[in-house]
Structure 1
Amino acid sequence: MHLYGGDSMAQASGTFSMRIDPALKQQASQLFNDLGIDLSAAISLFLKQSVAEQGLPFQPSKETHRERDIARLLLEIEQGHQDKLQGDTFTDQEVRERFGLD
């Protein structure tokens, strides 16, 4: 084996077999094809990122993205309401000047 910079110049590849719902496989394949990679490359990226992070490369959650977005929006609305009650607001003109809209 020849080494260059600590990495093998020619890396061997192995096979990996798994059972997956055919509809999910089709949806995932289409998604990754749209992104310019195939399913095998996507799974390889997932595994490499998991190893790099020493864990899952995303935060598992029971909440959906929509639920998180709604919760975040509700917090922002509440914060805006509290700001208004405390008089911490801007006039239309101040907003226009601040963001260069005039």
Structure 2
Amino acid sequence: MSHTAALFVDHRGYASAALDGGPWRAASAPLEPWTAAGVLGGAAGVVLAALVAVRLRHRAPRVLRPVTSRLRAAHSGHVGDYAAWPTAGVASFGLLLFTV
């Protein structure tokens, strides 16, 4: 863990520095090494997301065409859509994490 990251997670040290004016020295935490399973899982996720994006952009399978056509119709091309859709995606992801 980098020094800055250690400072970020040291809540007691931050509270002491903020409330008492004391020095802020972060406690050191052990660095967690990367694992092959973690790297392969991340790479597989990126590759699958790219393949799905390319496949849906050019021609969606017949089963997904009603869904993709509704999504394309919902995106009007207005500037506000570029803020609304990422916000909806982040909110949906947050709900997914909250329910799991």
Please state which structure has a larger fraction of its residues in helix: 2
TM-score normalised by length of structure 2: 0.30
TM-score normalised by length of structure 1: 0.30
Larger Rg: 1
